[in-house]
Structure 1
Amino acid sequence: MTTVEPKRTGPAEPRARVAADETAGITMTVNGTETTVTVPPRAHLGDVLREQLGLTGTHLGCEHGVCGMCTVLVDGEAARACLMFAVQCEGSEIVTVEGLGTPDDQHPLQRAFSAHHGLQCGFCTPGMLMSSYDLLANTPDVVSDELPEHMSGVLCRCTGYRGILAAVDDVRQTYPDGIPEPRACGAHTLVGRASAGGTGTAVAEADVPEAALPQEVRLPSGPPSAVVDVTSRLHSPVERVWAVLDDFDLLARCLPGARLTEVLDGDRYRGRAVVALGPVKLSFDGLAQVVERDPREHRLRFHAQGADAGGSATQADVVLGAQPEPGGGTVLTAHADVHLTGRVAQFGRALAGDVSRRMFEQFAASLDEAAETGSVTEPGRGAQLRLVLGTVRDTVRALTRRGLAGARTLWRR
């Protein structure tokens, strides 16, 4: 039988305690490439594979270890990447679906899934492929009647179970002496959002010199987690409002919990933002880059990205516009496409949108103050409490409206 023989390095040496807001460096072999990453101690392997190494074939579904979408091989055994901390993988060999085969040299399992139509929407496919590889590699004598039970650890909603089982059974019969090993494991350059680039080594920003840090904000290509549109009426005249928008240092202080830490060339700024939602407190270190500044139209557009030590990350495309209002005031419009990953993404799209909207409402009030006085009052805990209570109130109202609408529908029936 030909299977992947994991490199057994033995248990890693015990480490000193790592605080929740610190990071730890780990070295592991991913698809045949030795890779060093610096990660928060609570970061899951799935997030590190996707966000730091760019291996997005590992899908994250329930993130509770139930759906099996995130299945990978760790030292030759199937493991849920959403349940495993990355720091547990020191010295381990990881194989993801990218290591199974390439478009030009597909693994037999990949060819069988295509031939038997074992993939519909494709979301469960990586987990199904890695789970079936683990099954056939470690239990080559499995029989056809046992496949449904063995493959039940990965959920398919489409459902394509019949095609999946047919594909796995086809490969089982074709290779009775052992399934071929993965075909795309070798020396590769792993390039992710936190990659040092060109060496196959990913390093966190805090552990590299300034010159090696990302020099521009890169937004994800997929749909945003939340879209925010806020219109506010300010007392200050439009020219004073634009003077604040044109001063990024003062503008940043209007954002709740944000402050600049460094001004770079090319209209780029480093900063820190703290967001407190009840017991959850997130501290983001990030980069902002102005991509459009139009004094005539009073329009400012910037991209921003940030990450916290708990594994959360956010990117945003923000457009701010100011138009004069009859009577001397200003109409301020704010549009933001917000992308969330990690723990902060678990709040859900609706709640994330509500929180973002309320933050922009607070921002508008602070901007009006800055336009009038040239300074901003630091929001206290009361403002954070109002943010939470307001969001909860709106959520309860929305749920109540849905319940009443559903009750009226049932009553008409």
Structure 2
Amino acid sequence: MSSAESRPGAGGREAAGPRPVRAAAHDGVDVAMTVNGTPVELHVPARLTLLDALRERLGLTGTHTGCEHGVCGMCTVLVDGDAARACLLLACQLDGAEVVTVEGLGRPDDLHPLQAAFGRNHALQCGFCTPGFLMSSYDLLSHEPAVAEEDLPEQLSGVLCRCTGYRNIVTAVAETARAYPGGPPAPGNCAKRVLTGRGGPGAGAPAGAGGERVPAAEAGAEDVAIRLPDAEPTVTVDLTSELAVDEDRLWRVLDDVHTLARCLPGAELTEELGPDRYAGRARVAVGPVKLSFTGVAHVLERDRERGRVHVVAQGQDTGGARTQGDVVLTLDRADGGLTLRAAADVYLTGRIAQFGRALAGDISRRMFEQFAESLEQAAAAGAAPVRPGAAPSALGLMAHALRRRVRAFFARITGRGEEGGRR
């Protein structure tokens, strides 16, 4: 039996005495919880399980779907500090709960000691049971750090391994228990961030100040407020480009918001909503994923004297993917030349975020590189070179991202930095 099954009240929801929720099976219920350190608000059907809420609404697919009867342990998570089967809990039961999934245990560059021990001891084969074993093992060692090694097979038997790798799993857990006799370190990847669910009604938007849901874009509404999440960006872009163009001609483009928007691949403005507010659309095609966003942009600052343009924007496509951005362009006139710096915090949810942070970062950086190139050409020619509404080339973006990674790899192994004017 697992450690969660051996303790009365494991999962904490019965003992905590949650407020009763009465709703028909398909009625929507508002739920606010904290998942891996991120406050989220969900509007979900009363019958939706925590497992489906984590995977479908919040994009946390590390919690695996197995038997959906509470037998196999694939969906084990921590609820208020105790192991629980996510397939047996309804999301509407967890108002006010703290949930930790395997994604919250450690980071790729800083694994939790349990994760590192599993890797060292080859305690994962196909990986299907690994999240369940990690969370169940963490729960066991947290509550019973002095568990005897000979008792581990029975204590961990509540999670089933399809590859029969139990011996190595027990070895990894025993190694961690010896290294941390007082109990394992706390989960190391719990912090405010944007969760990358599939979007649509009830998607897990981070709670904003005062608990309000961060709104999706509603293009064409003059009173739309662009509120960026109080969380870690999905992608951070910081690029510097040397521009061989006259500053006055460049500012003609920066002052013409329609031309400026067309310099960003696949984007164009469609309507002026009021002072420095605009509606627009953007198309992105990466591999099989083709998205068409509609949204709004607000120019917060355009200061020629300081050489600074500050824009915030948000958009949503019909499939529920959402994007928000905080972009600052800065012109530096040092050494007689003109340098453009583009700094952006980008928040992605839905299908567009499912490429992973590294690839999404590569593609975002390439788009901003193309923006700088188009901006320079527009200043020289007096018109944006990008056809309005044209989606950026998926193959081009992907190929460039892969080339950058290959160059970076060889630069690391040869000890040389990347070369090139733009970076």
Change in CA separation of 1:238 and 1:310 when aligned onto 2, cut-off 3 Å: same
Cα separation, 1, equivalents of 2:379 and 2:351: 35
| Contact kept? 1:35, 1:201, Cα under 8 Å | no
CA contact (8 A) 1:273 1:285 kept: yes
1:376: which partner in 2? 384
Can you list the C-alpha shifts for 1:263-284, whole angstroms capped at 9, x where unaligned? 2335333322212223222323
Q: 2:228 pairs with 210, 218, 229, which one?
A: 218
- 8 Å CA contact 1:220–1:339 kept in 2: the answer is no
**After superposition, where does 1:11-410 map in structure 2 within 5 Å?**
27-28=28-29, 30=31, 45-46=53-54, 60=60, 62=62, 64-65=64-65, 68=75, 78-79=85-86, 94-96=92-94, 98-99=96-97, 148-150=156-158, 193=205, 210=221, 214-222=224-232, 224-324=233-333, 330-379=338-387, 383-400=393-410
CA contact (8 A) 2:284 2:291 kept: yes
Deviations 1:230-252 (A, max 9, x none): 22233321112122222222211
Q: 1:96 to 1:363 in 2, by over 3 A?
A: same
Cα distance in 2 for partners of 1:191, 1:358 equals 28
In structure 2, give the amino acid aligned to 1:336. Answer: A
CA pair 294-27 structure 1, distance change in 2 beyond 3 A? same
Give 1:8 deviation, angstroms: 7.9
The residue aligned with 1:139 is: none
The question of whether the paired residues in 1 share the 8 Å contact of 2:216 and 2:316 is answered with no
**Unmatched runs of 5 consecutive residues or more in structure 2:** 1-7, 34-40, 46-51, 67-73, 100-111, 114-130, 141-151, 162-168, 185-201, 416-423
Displacement of 1:384: 4.4
How many angstroms apart in 2 are the aligned matches of 1:303 and 1:241?
21
Distance 1:370 1:351, change over 3 A: same
Identity over aligned pairs, percent: 38
Number of aligned residue pairs: 308
Cα distance change of structure 1 residues 62 and 162 upon mapping to structure 2, 3 Å threshold: farther
TM-score by length of 2: 0.54
1:231 and 1:361 map into 2 onto residues whose CA distance is 9
Between 298-307 and 247-256, report the one with greater CA deviation.
298-307
Rounded to whole Å, the distance in 2 between the matches of 1:372 and 1:276 is 28
* SS in structure 2 at match of 1:221: coil
Q: Matched residues in 2 for 1:229 and 1:196: separation?
A: 26
Q: Distance in 1 between matches of 2:409 and 2:61?
A: 25
8 Å Cα contact 1:234-1:368 kept in structure 2: yes
Partners in 1 of 2:209 and 2:334 — Cα distance? 49
SS at match of 1:98: coil
Per the TM alignment, residue 48 of structure 1 is displaced from its structure 2 partner at its CA by 7.5
Report the alpha carbon displacement of residue 365 of structure 1 after superposing the two structures with TM: 1.8
Distance change in 2, residues 1:60/1:195 (3 Å): closer
When residues 269 and 46 of structure 1 are mapped into structure 2, their CA distance, relative to the original with a 3 A threshold, is farther
Name the TM-score, length of structure 1 as normaliser.
Answer: 0.55
